[in-house]
Chain A
């Protein structure tokens, strides 16, 4: 559930959810993913520590694959493959 994705799973879309507090990053992720096709990868960047729990939980509930879940110096980064 971590590490760099292989080339074919590179994100095709990016969501900047920095500055948003939970559950807004999850809501924005959900709305974005609704517009994507199966197999596409979304990158989400957020700053609220709540996302560390909420985004993986949301992915599990909907069956999407979390390819990357990473805590960086100033933010959190996720790659989600749409199921």
Chain B
């Protein structure tokens, strides 16, 4: 049902969910090119791979400095609103009505939440007429399936004001199509996990250098990260987290020799600097006789535990093969003590202590 009289009306206003990846970029572009007034919405959940994580690890800094969502907005020439949803998002992570995917990824509840939030977003005292996503049927096993598409539309409250330009031809016409705000004939029927159609469309638009994060843009789809989050809940006996918890799970080696405490060992200078910002809140260890990592200890370690922790810290220092390494153990109270320990031998470090595998 082609509609060719869309110019008869004032431009409609659409909120495009922009993750920084290719699909949402293409979806926004397809609608933008039809004369719709498109603005980008990007949600910061705290679990985003995007952004600060690149700033923490030195080795990642040279690879990527840009915020991909901002980069997409600039390429498209649209505004981008980055929304902090850290607090609200907790309920999605802790109590997903539709459950988790392969790891702790509540993708379906997440998409419902984001579409709803975008539609009800009040930018410049105006709402949006419809919402655009880069969803493709069959692209993601948890949330992007033929049977989940109507669930997202219904439960987000968007109903048929939710347009998926990349796979619209596989779905019933939505309100923007029926009203002629967009021309259905210029939308697409992509499906499945094949990326070639998206890449061809990107070529046609002249997009290059776009981000293609493996496994998406969310740490909750990452097996190791999800393992660390599950471990945190188990150790504390309560399924909860705060922003600092989820930041710290992104950084360092997490080693749990016993249920009541774990070590977070910086892997390189950038991580040590990041962990250093937290040192006053944790018992922490730094090596004195040799260059080594900063190690935070989360939990309630005994004096005996601190000796083992010191030996582990020494094991990751330049003195790992030395007979003895001296370390300082600092307490949040301000007191500190020096320990001289033998670095833990690799064979003494139980593989099961490594949290998240």
Chain A positions within 8 Å of B, measured between CB atoms, are 19, 21-24, 26-27, 30, 48-50, 52-54, 57-58, 60-62
Contacts and interface: CB of A to CB of B under 8 A. Distances in A.
Nearest to B40: A61
B8 to A, nearest CB: 29
Contact of A23 (B44, B73, B74): B44
A17 B193 CA distance: 40
Contact of B52 (A30, A50, A57, A58): A50
- Taking residues whose C-beta sits less than 8 angstroms from the other chain, chain B's interface range is 20 to 34
A54 B44 CA distance: 14
A25 to B, nearest CB: 9
A60 B74 contact: yes
Interface of B: 44, 48, 50-52, 54-56, 61, 65-67, 70-71, 73-74, 78-84, 247, 277
Given A22-B52, A27-B83, A53 B66 contact: yes
Contacts of B50: 23
Contacts of A61: 70, 73-74, 78-80
A24 B52 contact: yes
- Name A's interface SS: helix
A24 B44 contact: yes
B55 A57 contact: no
Nearest to B53: A21
A52 B61 CA distance: 12
B44 A27 contact: yes
Contacts of B247: 21
Nearest to B84: A27
Given A23-B44, A27-B83, A50-B65, A57 B51 contact: no
